[in-house]
Amino acid sequence: MRHLLDFQGWTRGQVESLLDTARVMAEVLERPVKRVPALRGFTVATVFFEPSTRTRLSFELAARRMSADVVSFAAQASSLQKGESYKDTLLTLEAMGIDAYVIRADAAGVPHQAARWVKGVVVNGGDGRRAHPTQALLDAYTLLEALGSLEGKKIAIVGDILHSRVARSNVELLPLLGAEVWVAGPPTLLPQRLPGARLTPHLDEALAEADAVMVLRLQKERMEAGLIHLQDYIAHYQVTERRLRKAKPHALLLHPGPMNRDVELEGTLADSERSLVNRQVHNGVAVRMAVLYHLLVGREG
Amino acid sequence: MLLIKNVTLVDALGERGPADVLIGEGRILSLSGGEAERILDGKGLLLAPGFLDLHAHLREPGQEVKEDLASGLLAAVRGGYTDIVSMPNTTPPVDTPEAVRALRKKAQALGLARLHPAAALTQGQEGKALTEAGLLKEAGASLLTDDGRTNEDTGVLAAGLLGAAVFGLPVAVHAEDTSLRRGGVTNDGPLADLLGLPGNPPEAEAARIARDLEVLRYAVRRSQKKPHLHIQHLSTKRGLELVREAKRAGLPVTAEATPHHLTLTEEALRSFDPLFKVAPPLRTQEDVEALIEGLLEGTLDALATDHAPHTQAEKEMDLLRAPFGIPSLEVAFPLLYTELHLKRGFPLKRLVELFTDGPRNILGLKPIHLEEGAEANLVLLDPKEGPVDPRGFASKAKFSPWAGWTLGGWPVLTLVEGRVVYQALE
């Protein structure tokens, strides 16, 4: 693979190979000196056209753990509105000798556009509603760590599916590993169709016999746009202790963060032992190390 | 005097010839030769009446960085257009008789394609207070439209239709229900969901057309004069069906389609390239087929470009921020000649009619047929194939979704009132 934009066209073998590398990287992170020279001499730029501290830190840490040089560029949405061109920004960075660009944007497709413009490799750090492939990879890694295999496992994704890049990437990735994916949310927040997933407006149907439940963050904008009513959402779509009884005993709980406690998820559940939320964040660094390694070094081998 | 020998004639009446067309005094003097200072060999070429575009954005005044009258009207004659309707959504909008006169005067001085400015239906295109239909007509406005905006207030649209009817002005509408469209940038459906792009539903077009047709029905009932509603850039099968039913019921409605809605589909958005971002959006193959059927059967009356130039930098933004629009004056005919006529057998006679008499009828202009005495507004077309190269466009917008496509039917000579305004003959 040349870039990581989404999982269109990926094979199970490619995913497994990447996750194998992530396991090696996870071991590195257990060492007293958490640094290897794998990317010495390479320069990674985090180019965030949309603010996101957590994802940016995770990528920057991943690059530094492999001895890459890291620069970060944060554009204000306002300067884009003024007509500053993405292309100019990227070509300016290219002139400085960047090898890999981690790109985050509020519009779908910006990393795809970037991949046409720059010579370096592009990692999608989240683009609009389209994709957040490293989040899906770290989710898959975390699930595999807990379940051993995803073959035949039922994973439910709950919430605002329509506007969620995390949901889209998981729906592309998890079936590649043998999982059965269900997505559930209010009708105004459900797509018409997503290849790879079963769609339902009924939460209980998605939760039934699920091995793991991924809860998405509910954005305030959806309420302001009149797409949902908050109390109605809480009444029908909040993942609670009681509702989770529909799922398999000890079904696992994931959330890409940041959480709205007691909105999409009953607050106490987030801290329960079935919650993998902190594991997801922890694994994010190893997974992102594996992605950068594969793109920058792996393709030469 | 100019003599074009052995040329095949094509107009709404059909193909015929070869003829030796003698042109002088701004007219076709003879179809059987004569003495001339300049003689061109027209063997293998097609001679057609000059095209009329009902829907071009020439961006003057206010956004000359995207296009101006000089670049836009030169692009027009390079595309075989001798007559152009410019849209009034400029900065400021063309909503006064003075603004219409100023545009016409400047265009006349350029001596390229003839400009027939459209004027705004409402002041500032704000959809509230009507403009002065009668005075705008006297100043030379060809139609009234708030194009780009969608006339949310039903009562204002009704009053506008009644007012325009008195002066014989068509009212053209951009048919999209904005509250259903929301922030949609591509056709709403499974592909939009997959790509994570906000969708613009086909029903947003149909819902607005259905409303506008009811408003037209009302205006017909209330008016002594015949109102005329023209629906711009139709993009959906359902919208077409509504127009077809209305025409069968005898309502005075006309409609146009664009080159991009006939040759591209939503699949182009898989590239996430804002070059393909248009309003209304590119639809499905099923919609394309319906539109082509609509052109054949006459539900659609005209082909119109919706030529919408922007700067390169604007089109290098993301899909949410980049502006809507494609520049197409210079490729419209070769594109449809190749994709519809050559590849699908669409009758050439009907195709030419959709570029000439179709739009002329909508503006109440007389048809132009290639016969002795006809005005010499003509275009000579070369069936020889060549690539689309936007770097060579006269338009300031030097990009195209059809870049690299191989097309035939390129204009090689354009005459306005007998004057050569463009030539690319070797």
Reported as a single tens digit per residue, the pLDDT across B356-375 is: 999 999 999 999 999 999 99
Please enumerate in sequence order all residues whose Cβ is within 8 A of that of A135, keeping only pairs 6 or more positions apart, or say none.
Answer: A55, A126, A165, A166, A169, A170, A256, A284
Q: Answer yes or no: is pLDDT of B141 > 80.
A: yes
Average pLDDT over all residues of chain A: 94
Q: What is the dihedral of CA A214, A219, A225, A230, to 10 degrees?
A: 70
Which residue among B195, B197, B316 places its CB closest to the CB of A85? Answer: B316
Interface of A with B in 47-66 (CB under 8 A): none
Share of chain B above pLDDT 90, in %: 98
Q: Return the bridge partners of A182, or none.
A: A156, A198
pLDDT, mean of residues A44-52: 92
Does residue A249 surpass a pLDDT of 70?
yes
**Predicted confidence (pLDDT) at residue A194 exceeds the cutoff of 80:** yes
Cross-chain residue pair B193–A191, CB shorter than 8 Å: yes
Which pLDDT score is estimated for A81?
58
pLDDT, residue A88, reads 87
In this predicted structure, what is the pLDDT of residue B377?
98
**Contact assignment for B316 to A105 by CB distance below 8 Å:** no
> Smallest CA–CA separation between B270 and chain A, in Å?
9
Q: Give the pLDDT mean for A172-201.
A: 97
Selecting from B197, B272, B317 the residue whose C-beta is nearest the C-beta of A85 gives: B317
pLDDT digits (tens, 9 = 90+) for A136-147: 999 999 999 999
On the question of pLDDT at B426 being above 80, the answer is no
B220-235 pLDDT, tens digit each: 999 999 999 999 999 9
**Mean of the pLDDT values across residues B118-136?**
98
DSSP per residue over A85-108, as a string? Answer: -HHHHHHHHHHTT-SEEEEEESST
Give the pLDDT confidence score for residue A128 in this predicted structure: 96
Helix (H) or strand (E) holding A228: none
Q: For residues B85 and B87, what is the distance between their CA atoms, to the nearest angstrom?
A: 7
CA distance A6 to B2: 61
Which region among A74-78, A195-199, B134-138, B400-404 has the lowest average model confidence (pLDDT)?
A: A74-78
How many A-B residue pairs are in contact by the CB < 8 A criterion?
A: 70
Given a contact cutoff of 8 angstroms between Cβ atoms, the answer to whether B380 and B47 are in contact is yes
Residue A300 distance to chain B (closest CA, Å): 26
Q: Is the dihedral of CA A170, A171, A177, A182 positive or negative?
A: positive
Q: What pLDDT is recorded for position A78?
A: 54
Residue A127 contacts B, CB cutoff 8 Å: yes
pLDDT digit string, tens, across residues A228-241: 999 999 999 999 99
Q: How many CB atoms lie within 10 A of CB B94?
A: 26
Residues B338 and A138: their CA atoms lie apart, in Å, by 50
Q: Which residues of B touch A127 (CB under 8 A)?
A: 196
Name the residue among A107, A162, A192 with its Cβ closest to that of B318.
A107
pLDDT of residue A301: 37
Q: Which amino acid is at A251?
A: A
Contact A191/B at CB under 8 A = yes
Higher pLDDT, A300 or A18: A18
Q: Is the pLDDT of residue A300 over 60?
A: no
Tell me if residue B130 falls in helix, strand or coil.
strand
Mean pLDDT of chain B: 97
Known catalytic membership, residue B147: no
CA atoms of B363 and B172, how far apart (whole Å): 11
- Amino acid residing at A133: P
Which pLDDT does position A7 carry in this prediction? Answer: 97
A86 Cβ under 8 Å from any chain B Cβ = yes
Mean pLDDT within A183-198: 96
Question: Across the strands, what pairs with A70?
Answer: A44
**Residues linked to residue B32 through DSSP beta bridges, in sequence order:** B20
Q: Is the pLDDT of residue A36 over 50?
A: yes
**DSSP string for B311-356:** -HHHHTS-TTTSPP-B--TTTHHHHHIIIIIIHH---HHHHHHHHT
Q: At B114, is the pLDDT very low, low, confident or very high (cuts 50, 70, 90)?
A: very high
Task: Look at residue A168 and tell me whether its pLDDT is greater than 60.
Answer: yes
Contact between chains at A110 and B318 (C-beta distance less than 8 A): yes
pLDDT tens profile B202-220: 999 999 999 999 999 999 9
On whether the CB atoms of residues B81 and B53 are closer than 8 A, the answer is: yes
Mutation to test the B interface, candidates A76, A78, A129, A166, most B Cβ within 10 Å: A129
Which amino acid, one-letter code, is at A123?
V
- Does ipTM exceed 0.90? yes
- Give the residue from B413, B425, B426, B424 showing the smallest Cα distance to B82: B413
In angstroms, the separation between the Cα of residue B185 and the nearest Cα of chain A is: 11
A162/B contact by beta carbon, under 8 A:
yes
Candidates B11, B212, B306, B357; catalytic one: B306
Tell me what the mean pLDDT of segment A49-53 comes to: 88
Structure tokens at B240: 């077409």
Rg (CA), chain B: 21
Whether chain B has a CB inside 8 Å of the CB on A227: the answer is: no
Query: Tell me, what's the pLDDT at A1?
Result: 80
Of A126-130, A216-220, B248-252, B398-402, the one with minimum mean pLDDT is: A216-220
